[in-house]
Structure 1
Amino acid sequence: MTKDTNGAHDANGSGILEEALERLHASGPEIYNWRLTNHAPMVAEALATHGRSGSVHRWLDAYEVRLDDFPTPVSPVTDANWREALGDTRRGADWIAYFLRAIEERPWRDVLAQWWPRLLPGLYGGATHPVIRVGHAVRVITKSGENAPRLAELAHGLGYWAARHRPVAGLTPLPGAPDADGALDAVPPIADFTGGFTDRLPRVDRLPVWSADVTDPDEARLRLTDLVRAATHRYATHGHGEPTMLVHAATAPNAVLRTLPALPRALWVPSLHAAWTATAAVTAMYAPPGPAPYAPVTGTTAEEVLERALAHGDEHVIKFADTAVDVGDERALTAALRAADLSEPLPY
């Protein structure tokens, strides 16, 4: 496939992303009866941001057979009762409606700043997909400007996060390492590798300490950048442990990193700590018995990696390529190609 002729301006002015988001907001945030996440809004944003808006609707045509109807409202979420609704998966429509109202009434940055610290402890719900969806929405708004469909997408992401909010607590700290690579190497795998994400997460009860001493926001941003790089690199040799789920060890912290510029600096340090716990937990849940040999793919460009991911079609492959291009070095691009090799394509 060739790059769309309207190129990097797609997210700025073609209107295709907006059409896609409006099309998708009639569907729910999860698919297959709330068993898996609807990745379509995230993929649409990634394709548009990387100059491939011309492929968005064709990709959606292949993906939409998975989509479910928008969920039925239960009871309105309000400023008075939100605590009792937090983490209630039945209330997805109620939470999305709440955030749609909030973003209509107040600047979106104010809403995000208020709710980020409330939602951050439950970053692990929905297999980290809600925060990833929020990160995609924030990226296009901050880089290309706000409009009604993009702000609605942020509301949908925040509402999904609130409905799937799931804290992790009671972790025993283990000795870590000075850098992110070493800390990930120190993550012990869980004992029982059966079941899905919700079955495995409660078994994560001990994780290495990393960056716990960070108090400066700028240092937190640098450490978070290192974490995204380390998790992306690690996939090149460890992705076979679970090709789909281990993608999130990189895409979840990258979503947090993308959101930092829109947040008050006081929230950067706790964001780093939550991102580390998420990446380490995913690493523990899906670690392979041992690494595969590293086989670098030399001379490959970011454009070629994006084209390969688009041709492959799998939603996780596309989103991981998006993160790998952010990292940008040879090992990251090799990891993105490894994800394509390990994953089943989406025919379209």
Structure 2
Amino acid sequence: MTDTSGTDTSGTDASGTLDEALQRLHASGPERNGWLSNHAPMAVEALVRHGQAPTVHRWLDHYRHKLEDMPAHHSPVTAATWREALGDPARIADWTRFFERETTERPWRDVLAEWWPRLLPGIAGGATHPVIRTGHAVRTLLSTEESAPRRAELAHALGYWAARAQPLPEIAPLAPAPTAAAALDAVPPVPEQDGGIRARLAQLTAFPRWGATADPDTARGLLAELVTAATHRYGTHGHGEPIMLVHAATAPNAVLRALPALPRELWAASLAAAWAASAAVTAAYAPREGAAPLATTLTAEEVFARAAAHGDDHTIKFADTALDVGDPTALAAAVRAVDLNPPAF
């Protein structure tokens, strides 16, 4: 997988397009219709990173009808009251304002390190979108010049996560699996695969044992293995639910992107949470039968250009993760996502 620990000059946005896009978006809330996520900040970050900055404002114009204003504030979140506000979606604006203050007054890495272990148990909340948005924001701050809109984007992502944080049910351990791919294959599907993700996640009972380690470097390697396995698996199982199953890969990849900004002592717990999130999405939506794998001769740049032209936000974000994995099977999985998901344009 691509090393996300250093500066990626290819992601530098000399035109300022990313900051302009984020400023357009920060008047909007992270959801619409009371539950559906606003994917625009994540999609535009991926578009800019992969050389599609000239398309960003046109893409936002098409997406504009899906944006809603930031919800009303209720009461401030403080160091004394945050526990009672955690996981309360009515407090999205309160949490966003809290993290805007925090990331203005303190180094953003310090804020992230303090709140990461508090938020990690709720990684599946909001269908994993909050942690994915956080991963995009952290990647930008790690690899491009820091700016006020980019710090504000991290505040919005963390605020969304705090408001939607929701622990999974208690999960019993099943037989251990030797690899991430084998572990995903062994995840039992939920009994009733109807309804929304909250109804499905409530049915979770057990996952295979995989990835337990106390060593940070081992945890990072296993997390990269998980992202690769989930990305590859989409190529054969994405047809089960083409939109929702992208999160089995993009959620753990968001955690992987955040690791370089986190204290090493948090890496093992981050792996465990990422595995739980990926397994949960797999259990909720994966079909019982896989399809034949797809092959592609397209380059990484051609694959992402195809996803960008397709325009669907989930497809763009999945292609972004597939390019992080970078091998031919991952690129073919991204092409399959283009084929499976309805185009936005």
TM-score (norm 2): 0.96
| Counterpart residue type for residue 335 of structure 1 | A
Spell out, residue by residue over 1:8-32, the C-alpha distance to the aligned partner (whole angstroms, 9 max, x if none).
756332111000000000100012x
Whole-angstrom distance in 2 between the partners of 1:294 and 1:132: 26
1:231 aligns with 2:233: no
Note if contact 2:247-2:281 (Cα within 8 Å) is conserved in structure 1: yes
1:308 aligns with 2:309: no
Structure 2 counterpart of 1:4: none
Note if contact 2:169-2:202 (Cα within 8 Å) is conserved in structure 1: no
Structure 1 counterpart of 2:6: none
1:114-153 to 2 correspondences below 5 Å: 114-153=114-153
- Number of residue pairs matched? 337
Note if contact 2:76-2:98 (Cα within 8 Å) is conserved in structure 1: yes
Structure 1 residue 289, shift from structure 2 partner: 2.5
Structure 1 counterpart of 2:34: 34
Structure 2 counterpart of 1:77: 77
Greater RCO structure (CA 8 Å; 6+ sep): 2
Structure 1 residue 199, shift from structure 2 partner: 1.1
Structure 2 counterpart of 1:275: 274
Spell out, residue by residue over 1:280-316, the C-alpha distance to the aligned partner (whole angstroms, 9 max, x if none).
010000011200111212x210001001101100000
1:257 aligns with 2:272: no
| Counterpart residue type for residue 175 of structure 2 | P
Structure 1 counterpart of 2:157: 157
Note if contact 1:11-1:49 (Cα within 8 Å) is conserved in structure 2: yes
| Counterpart residue type for residue 330 of structure 2 | A
1:14 aligns with 2:15: yes
Structure 2 counterpart of 1:3: none
Structure 1 counterpart of 2:172: 172
Unaligned runs of 5+ in 1: 1-7
Whole-angstrom distance in 2 between the partners of 1:10 and 1:247: 23
Spell out, residue by residue over 1:48-107, the C-alpha distance to the aligned partner (whole angstroms, 9 max, x if none).
111211111000000011111111001110010000000000000000000000011110
Structure 2 counterpart of 1:101: 101
Structure 2 counterpart of 1:329: 327
Whole-angstrom distance in 1 between the partners of 2:64 and 2:197: 24
Spell out, residue by residue over 1:218-257, the C-alpha distance to the aligned partner (whole angstroms, 9 max, x if none).
0000000000000000000000010000000000000000
TM-score (norm 1): 0.95
| Counterpart residue type for residue 58 of structure 1 | R
Whole-angstrom distance in 2 between the partners of 1:111 and 1:177: 35
In structure 2, do the counterparts of structure 1 residues 225 and 87 end up closer, same or farther at CA, with 3 Å as the change threshold?
same
**Structure 1 vs Structure 2: percent identity of aligned residues?**
63
Unaligned runs of 5+ in 2: 1-8
Whole-angstrom distance in 1 between the partners of 2:243 and 2:276: 19
